[in-house]
Amino acid sequence: MDIKRKKICCFSIVFILVLFSNLTIAQTPSIPKNYQSYNINHMEIINQGLKIIKLITNNQINDSSFNLSFVKELKKWYDVHPMIDFTSIVENTLTIKFIDGTYTLLLDQFITCDGYNKINNDLISNTYKNISNYHFEDTNKKALILNPCESMYGGGHCKKIINILLDKGYCLDYLINQDVDISYIRDRLQAEIIYLNTHAGYWDLDGDNKGDVVVIATGELWTVETQEIYKFEFENQMIVEGVVGNQSFVAFTPSFIQYYYQENNFPDSLVYMATCYAGFDTSMANAFLESGAKVYVGWKRNTISWTNSQTSIIAFKLLAKGIPVKFVCFLIGYGCLLNLLLRSRLVYYGNGYYRISKVLTAKTSTS
């Protein structure tokens, strides 16, 4: 009798466990890893939320400050959308994860990109004309001045930096807007000086409202084909969609640099990220430093566009005088009162005693 009761009891326990297991599985359906199994128009959902919240809050776009209350309301709207898994706010970045497993990062919603596709041909031709007037002999010292934000903020400050480096004997590459694409970042980023003037933000991968890695926007537009064109990079979280104003761009993560640039690919390089949040933590800095860069410079938090531009000129003037990076960052500090209120200052990682030295006297070509 006891044996029979034990068998019945064991059978009952097993039955209950199986039933509970089935109920648990039914309540938490798994999401397929294949993002192609869904047909979600990510930008349509994002723009719909932006339009509704702007209408409700009567919010005016303003690139001089980060309107946290507006973004919080935007987050609430996205949180209840059936196509969105989670949203989170880290500093000025709103991370949106859709149920297909893809992410979109809102880097800066207080700037318009209406003039992005209007390339200033005069600026390009005049800049390259100035550079082509120089002839360099026996020098492999190269500087990259990359300005994906030229159509938003102009290129006057970049031209001044170019002239400073030309006087120091550097060979120059200057690219703007969509020319600074992910292929260029992947294949041609090696130089003694790398200056990148763009947007940046934080990527929260797990929705805990804590940034996991810094992401840097390129000038390449994010399209419906991007996930297939850069399938390997996309699936390995080397790139992500970053929205600035009303336009989507391809942004790269530290993993992108770590994968494509091995040790000593940036021999003793200065990497100057003229972006918000590029120096908030060490995630992007370490990627460059581990690949051989000597020092990495960036803003600690959010910064104002005109302050970023003007302090970049001052920084390179000081560097050209032989002042080490450590003291350049100290002298620039917050750059302006508004940056002080935002608690954003120019910081460095790596060798603070890096300095620019004269490479070779440039000669004006007569040809």
Res 303 pLDDT > 60: yes
Q: Do residues 71 and 166 share a domain?
A: no
pLDDT of residue 93: 86
Which residues fall within 8 angstroms of residue 129, CB to CB, at 6 or more apart? Answer: none
d(CA 3, CA 9): 10
Residue 196 belongs to a domain: yes
Q: Model confidence over 222-242: pLDDT tens digits?
A: 998 999 999 999 999 999 999
Q: What is the pLDDT of residue 11?
A: 55
Q: What is the pLDDT of residue 175?
A: 92
Amino acid, res. 221 = L
- CA-to-CA separations, 356 to 62, 139, 192, 256, 270, in angstroms, rounded: 37, 15, 10, 27, 9
39 has a pLDDT exceeding 60: yes
Looking at residue 211, its pLDDT comes to: 80
Where residue 252 falls among pLDDT bands split at 50, 70, 90?
Answer: very high
Based on the domain organization, do 189 and 302 belong to the same domain?
Answer: yes
**What pLDDT does 129 receive?**
39
- Looking at the fold, whether 265 and 295 belong to one and the same domain comes out as yes
Q: Look at residue 91 and tell me if it is in a domain.
A: yes
Model pTM score: 0.76
Query: Is residue 32, in this structure, part of any structural domain at all?
Result: no
- List the end-to-end C-alpha distance of the chain, in Å, as a whole number: 109
pLDDT digits (tens, 9 = 90+) for 90-147: 877 889 999 988 999 988 766 555 444 433 434 443 444 344 333 343 456 889 999 9
Element (H, E) at 11: helix 2-27
| pLDDT at residue 308, as a whole number | 78
d(CA 357, CA 367): 28
DSSP H helices, 133-237, are 150-153, 156-167, 182-187, 226-229, 231-235
Give tens-digit pLDDT for 309-359.
888 999 999 999 999 999 999 998 877 666 566 666 889 999 999 988 765
CB 322 within 8 A of CB 358: no
CATH number of residue 268's parent domain: 3.40.50.1460
Residue 20 lies in a domain: no
Long-range contacts of 182-189 (CB under 8 A, 24+ apart): 182/218, 182/220, 182/230, 182/233, 182/239, 182/250, 182/252, 184/146, 184/218, 185/218, 185/252, 185/256, 186/256, 186/260, 187/260, 188/144, 189/144, 189/261, 189/266
pLDDT band at 5 (very low <50, low <70, confident <90, very high): low
Examine the domain organization and report whether 333 and 219 are in the same domain. no
- Cα(43)–Cα(26) distance, integer angstroms: 31
Strands 193-197 and 270-274: parallel
Instruction: Examine the domain organization and report whether 63 and 182 are in the same domain.
Output: no
Q: Kindly report, residue by residue over 157-185, the tens digit of the pLDDT.
A: 899 999 999 988 899 889 999 999 999 99
Range of the domain at 344: 121-201+260-364
Is 245 found in the same domain as 281?
A: no
Q: Are residues 227 and 356 in the same domain?
A: no
Give domain status of residue 172, yes or no.
yes
What radius of gyration, in Å, describes the C-alpha atoms of the chain?
25
274 and 348 share a domain? Answer: yes
Please count the structural domains in the chain: 2
Helix (H, G, I), strand (E, B), or coil: what is residue 346?
strand
Residue 135 dihedral angles phi and psi, to the nearest 5°: -120, 130
Query: Cβ atoms within 10 A of the Cβ of 134, count?
Result: 16
- Can you tell me whether residue 94 is helix, strand or coil? strand
Q: Is residue 192 domain-shared with residue 283, that is, in the same domain?
A: yes
Residue 171 half-sphere exposure toward CB, CA atoms < 13 A: 11
pLDDT of residue 90: 85
12-26 pLDDT tens trace: 554 544 444 443 333
104 within some domain: yes
